[in-house]
């Protein structure tokens, strides 16, 4: 049986117009990406900035199509967006005119859940992310961490098999981030979703991922997939300080280090032109 999600030799190119010379140039975001994700797996993608992490997520979400190769979901190529994949954005993307409850109901509406069932279901999902009692708050009355909880509840509401998370905790302060990481692991275990999670934080990658895929600098390829054998993260009190954690952390740091300096070199060259 083939994997749940399969990237097969995926290349994505964009045509960009150079502002100074007005020439159209081709820009390769990712090249020849091969990656398998098993059903129910928690996979983290890390890479230097501009390496095409978000492009991979857009391809999975069906927001864009590969120039070459294929992205398969349960053996079938992805042709467009769909409710079998839920996207969680870094900027939360909450509808500011709706309450927390209304935002979760938005997910239910998209899935075609009958009107009468929506309020109860929405309350259930808010409860799942620990937001009981905050149903009637508007996004501007919620903290960043709570907003992201609402966004996660909304994605869960239409019951996707895959959660695609694009640096969802990057804008949060350290304490909130850690509590949301634990929360996410809890929800993941409870719901059995497949999670594809993008981050630029090595700590976050090691803490969350069953496997961590390290990408190269642009054009992005999968440099190495590191399995993380840390078991249940919430069992251990201060896992982040343990020697095993440090070992994984260092391993990924090594893999990333060269790529980051190369990415910075690329940025300088672009700026110099």
Partner 1 sequence: MTALLEARPAVDEERPTRDRVKRPSLPRRVADALLTAVGKVAAIAVLLAVWETAPRLGLVDATFLPPFSTVVDAWWRLATSGQLLDNTGASLARSLSGFGLAVAVAVPLGLLIGWYKPVATLLGPLLEVFRNTAALALLPVFVLLLGIGETSKIAIVFYACTWPILLNTISAVRGVDPTLLRLAKSVDLSGFRLFQKVILPASVPTVFTGIRLAGAVSILVLVAAEMVGAKAGLGYLINASQFNFAIPQMYAGIITISAIGVVFNQVLVALERRFTSWRVPVGS
- Residues near partner 1 (CB under 8 A): 61, 63, 80-83, 85-87, 89, 91-93, 95-98, 106-107, 109-110, 130-132, 134, 138, 140-143, 145-146, 158, 176, 179, 182-183, 185-186, 189-190, 232, 234
**Nearer CB in complex with partner 1: 163/255:** 163
What is the C-alpha to C-alpha distance for residues 263 and 257, in angstroms, rounded to an integer? 10
Least separation in angstroms between CB 47 and partner 1: 21
**Nearer CB in complex with partner 1: 99/216:** 99
**Nearer CB in complex with partner 1: 63/260:** 63
Least separation in angstroms between CB 190 and partner 1: 6
What is the C-alpha to C-alpha distance for residues 172 and 268, in angstroms, rounded to an integer? 29
Count other Cβ atoms within 10 Å, centred on residue 74.
Answer: 14
Among 144, 149, 148, 145, residue whose Cα is nearest residue 125: 149
Least separation in angstroms between CB 189 and partner 1: 5
Least separation in angstroms between CB 37 and partner 1: 18
Nearest 5°: CA angle at 90, between 134 and 52?
160
**Nearer CB in complex with partner 1: 186/200:** 186
Q: Where are the beta strands (DSSP E) in 18-166?
A: 24-37, 42-46, 68-73, 76-77, 85-88, 162-166
What is the C-alpha to C-alpha distance for residues 196 and 38, in angstroms, rounded to an integer? 11
């Amino acid at each position: 049986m083939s994997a749940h999600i399969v990237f097969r030799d995926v290349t994505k190119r964009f045509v960009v117009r150079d502002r100074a010379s007005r020439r159209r140039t081709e820009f390769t975001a990712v090249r020849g990406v091969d990656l398998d994700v098993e059903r129910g797996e928690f996979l983290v993608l890390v890479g230097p900035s501009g390496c095409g992490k978000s492009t991979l997520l857009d391809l999975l979400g069906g927001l864009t199509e590969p120039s070459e190769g294929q992205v398969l979901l349960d053996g079938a190529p992805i042709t467009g967006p769909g409710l079998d994949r839920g996207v969680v954005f870094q900027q939360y993307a909450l509808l500011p005119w709706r309450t927390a409850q209304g935002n979760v109901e938005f997910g239910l509406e998209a899935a075609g859940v009958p009107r009468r069932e929506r309020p109860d279901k929405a309350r259930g999902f808010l409860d799942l992310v620990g937001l009981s009692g905050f149903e009637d708050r508007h996004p501007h009355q919620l903290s960043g961490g709570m907003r992201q909880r609402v966004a996660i509840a909304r994605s869960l509401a239409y019951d996707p098999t895959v959660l695609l998370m694009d640096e969802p905790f990057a804008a949060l302060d350290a304490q909130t981030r850690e509590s949301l990481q634990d929360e996410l692991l809890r929800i993941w275990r409870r719901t059995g979703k497949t999670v594809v999670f993008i981050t630029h934080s090595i700590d976050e990658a090691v803490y969350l991922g069953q496997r961590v895929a390290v990408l190269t600098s642009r054009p992005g390829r999968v440099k190495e997939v590191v399995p993380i054998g840390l078991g249940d993260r919430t069992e251990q009190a201060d896992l982040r300080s343990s020697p095993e954690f440090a070992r994984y952390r260092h391993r990924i740091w090594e893999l990333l280090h060269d790529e980051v300096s190369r990415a910075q070199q690329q940025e300088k060259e672009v700026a110099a032109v």
